[in-house]
Chain A
Amino acid sequence: MSWEIDYLALLPEIVVAVTILAVLSLDLFLPRRLKYWTATVAVLGVTLAAIPLIVIWAGDARASMFDGSFVVDDFALVLKGLFLVAGYITLLMSVSYVESDRYYQGEYYLLLLCSILGSMVMASSRDLIVLFIGLELTTGPLFMLAGWRKGDIRSNEASLKYFILGVLSTAILLWGMSMLFGVTGAVQFGEISVAVDTIMAGDPDMQPLLGLAIMFMLVGFGFKVSAVPFHFWAPDTYEGAPTPVTAYLSVSSKAAGFVALFTVVYLAVPGAVTFWGPALWALAALSMTVANLAALRQSNVVRLLAYSSIAQAGFMLVPFAGAAVSGRDKLGEGLQATVIYLMIYALMNLGAFAAVIVAARRTGTAELAGWAGLGRRDPRLAVLMAIFFFSLAGIPPLAGWFAKFVMFQSVISSGGLAGGVLAVIAAINAVIAFYYYARIAKTIWFESPPEGAETFEDAPAGSLVWVLGVAAVVTILVGVLPDISGFFGRATQVLVEAAGG
């Protein structure tokens, strides 16, 4: 047992935690006219936290603390980087949103930072308890952020639906965890994995209970990543919540759920792949198909993006699920493709949401019909929007194309009939998805503005322009030079070695 604490490895989390305390105290003591400093400190803190992260990454010091429950390896570092970048972008998107409210609310940044801290802890967790704490710290503040507009009944509704389903999923997930603990007698992933292998090899009495434990946990995670058929809260919550929070929900909170799912199934119960492989396959196929068909008939762009993000979650699962149904030895490769997809999706989706925020402010509506002719009214914004939506659709040379390419390559090379069928379902869905993304572009560019359409001339805030610029540059760069993202995929190699694959 090693109980030594490596403070350098913990520094990114420590910086974020200190920032949380700083924002809390600043909000208490600053006079109202100086409250904008809470936003500045929050953004600074998240930026500062990236420095130790890069230092650890550049060095070769990797740490395993608290008896292997908290691990800082390449996989954790890359995901922490993703969570920090997504948090940074969301904070910047939120600044103008919070400022436009009746009075300044520093708690917003406090809650968002708590959620970022939770997701970072989760990336390092290799233990059921730490994983649970991280996951709850990620989602807990989001229940409140979803209901941020307290006077708006739609925001209240979004928050209440998210909350009830969120705690229900937590209870189901915990039930699975408690059964897994009862069956294996361990909470640490490495020890669980050994016990699961023993049970699968020669203890048929315990197998049904183990299968049940895994199924309960999958249902819990299914809610967290809003995979069909556990997705029904997502569109309502996404539409009612403030748009920057929606962006965060659809990227960071979803990514956190995925990371939890992958670390559990891949590190804790890989021996029982025959139980969870087909379940993941079904989740992937259903998520893509149902969400894409539902997205076809949406008229509200935020709601459309909600369904699109459910469908994208299905695409993300495809390589891993395809590998899972064809055997344990293929899992590592599938996981790499999935992580690459997750990274690319995060950036292009945040960009799409930033563009939607700007467009909604320009036109005063989030209904697609109100955006007709935006290409003539604001060509620069319309070009950016086309970039993000076509990237989500997977058109070369944008980043989303490479994500889809990796996905198909992985699922086809994993072989087997089930993997092949999944690839076909994914291909059909990619075409359906292209239709509704292209419909947005068509409305913006080729339709004339509605009668009496107003264009609000106020320029978007500098922070939003910066976010849009960065996301667009990265989206194009990754598409043109895909090697950049292969580098992220290689980080999962560490996880593959940890699982002994």
Chain B
Amino acid sequence: MTVTPGWYMTLAAVLFAIGLLGILVRRNALIMFMCVELMLNAVNLTFVAAGRALGLIDGQVSVFFVLVVAAAEVVIGLAIIVAVFRQRSSASVDELSGLSG
């Protein structure tokens, strides 16, 4: 049995779903953030698989850009989480409920 690009896309879809589910059920900002990273990597896998299947370099090129932006977002996200942690000594998003209505 050969592994076709379709398999990779299915795997990517599963990873994406796991990430999305994680965001919905977990309440720790750090874990939620890791789930987003999982979703972004699912995107990368789709881009690579599609690029390979179509014989186009654009898919691989897109992945580089997504990787770089994801890295930049990690920096921003960790900085924000640290700022929250200094105020609250907790990274749970449920405790952040000062703003509502």
- Using a CB–CB cutoff of 8 Å, the interface residues on chain A facing chain B are 128-129, 132-133, 136, 140, 143-144, 147, 150-151, 153-154, 156-161, 163-164, 167-168, 170-172, 174-175, 177-179, 181-182, 185-187, 235-236, 239-240, 297-298, 303
Name the residue of chain A whose CB is nearest to the CB of B29: A160
B62 contacts which chain A residues (CB < 8 A)?
128-129, 177-178, 181, 187
CB distance from B60 to the nearest CB of A (A): 11
Instruction: Kindly list chain B residues whose C-beta atoms are within 8 Å of the C-beta of A181.
Output: 47, 50-51, 58-59, 62
Residue pair A160, B84 in contact (C-beta under 8 Å): yes
Q: Which 5 interchain pairs have the tightest Cβ spacing?
A: A182-B50, A171-B39, A178-B46, A236-B99, A157-B96
Number of A-B contacts (CB under 8 A): 130
B29/A164 in contact, CB under 8 A: yes
Evaluate contact between A239 and B99: CB separation under 8 angstroms.
Answer: yes
CB-defined contacts of B79 to chain A, threshold 8 Å: 144
Q: In the complex, given contacts A133-B65, A167-B77, A178-B43, what are 9 additional A-B residue pairs having Cβ atoms less than 8 angstroms apart?
A: A136-B73, A140-B76, A158-B99, A160-B29, A177-B43, A187-B62, A235-B99, A236-B99, A236-B100
Q: Which residues of B contact A143 (CB under 8 A)?
A: 76-77, 80
Chain B residue at minimum C-beta to C-beta distance from A157: B96
Chain A min CB distance to B68 (Å): 9
Is the CB–CB distance between B43 and A164 below 8 Å?
Answer: no
**Size bracket of the B interface:** 35 or more
Q: Are B58 and A174 in contact (CB under 8 A)?
A: no
Least CB distance from B70 to A in Å reads 9
Interface string of B54-72 (1 = CB under 8 A from A): 1010110110011001001
Q: Is the CB of A163 within 8 A of B16?
A: no
Cα distance A133–B54 in the bound complex, in angstroms: 23
Within the complex, the shortest CB–CB distance from A198 to chain B, in Å, comes to: 14
Q: Could you give 7 example pairs across A and B, Cβ below 8 Å? A: A161-B96, A163-B76, A170-B40, A171-B16, A171-B36, A178-B62, A297-B101
A186 CA to B47 CA, complexed, in Å: 11
Pick the contact of B40: A163, A174, A182, A303 (CB < 8 A).
Answer: A174
Assess the A140–B99 pair: CB atoms within 8 A.
Answer: no
Complex: how many Å from CA A253 to CA B84? 24
Q: Give min CB distance, B72 to chain A, whole Å.
A: 6
Q: Which of the residues B16, B56, B69, B80 comes within 8 Å of A147, measured between beta carbons?
A: B80
- Residue pair A129, B65 in contact (C-beta under 8 Å): yes
B21 at the interface (CB under 8 A from A): no
Chain B residues within an 8 Å CB radius of A163 = 76-77, 80
CA distance A447 to B95 in the complex (A): 38
Chain B min CB distance to A234 (Å): 11
Tell me the residues in window 27-61 of chain B with beta carbons closer than 8 Å to chain A beta carbons: 29, 32-33, 36, 39-40, 42-43, 46-47, 49-51, 53-54, 56, 58-59, 61
A171 and B29 contact, Cβ closer than 8 Å, known pairs A164-B93, A182-B9: no
The answer, among A175, A235, A297, for a CB contact under 8 Å with B39, is: A175
CA distance A349 to B76 in the complex (A): 28
| Chain A residues with CB under 8 A of B93 | 160-161, 164
Known: A174-B43, A178-B47, A240-B99. A159 touches B80 (CB 8 A): yes
With A143-B80, A174-B40, A178-B62 known as contacts, the answer to whether A156 contacts B87 (CB < 8 A) is yes
CA distance A121 to B23 in the complex (A): 31
Give complex CA distance A464, B23 in Å.
41
Closest CB in chain B relative to A144 CB, distance in Å:
6
Of the candidates B58, B76, B98, which one forms a contact with A157 in the assembled complex, judged by CB atoms under 8 Å apart? B98
Question: How many Å from the CB of A228 to the closest CB on chain B?
Answer: 16
Instruction: Determine the residue in chain B with the shortest Cβ distance to A153.
Output: B87
* Residue numbers in B under 8 Å from A175 (CB-CB): 16, 39, 42-43, 46
Contact A132 to B83, CB < 8 A, known contacts A175-B43, A178-B46, A239-B99: no
Contacts of A182 in B (CB 8 A): 9, 46, 49-50, 53-54
Q: What is the minimal beta-carbon distance from B24 to any residue of chain A, in angstroms?
A: 10
Residue of B nearest to A300 (CB): B101
A164 close to B33 (CB less than 8 A): yes
CB of A171 within 8 A of CB of B19, answer: yes
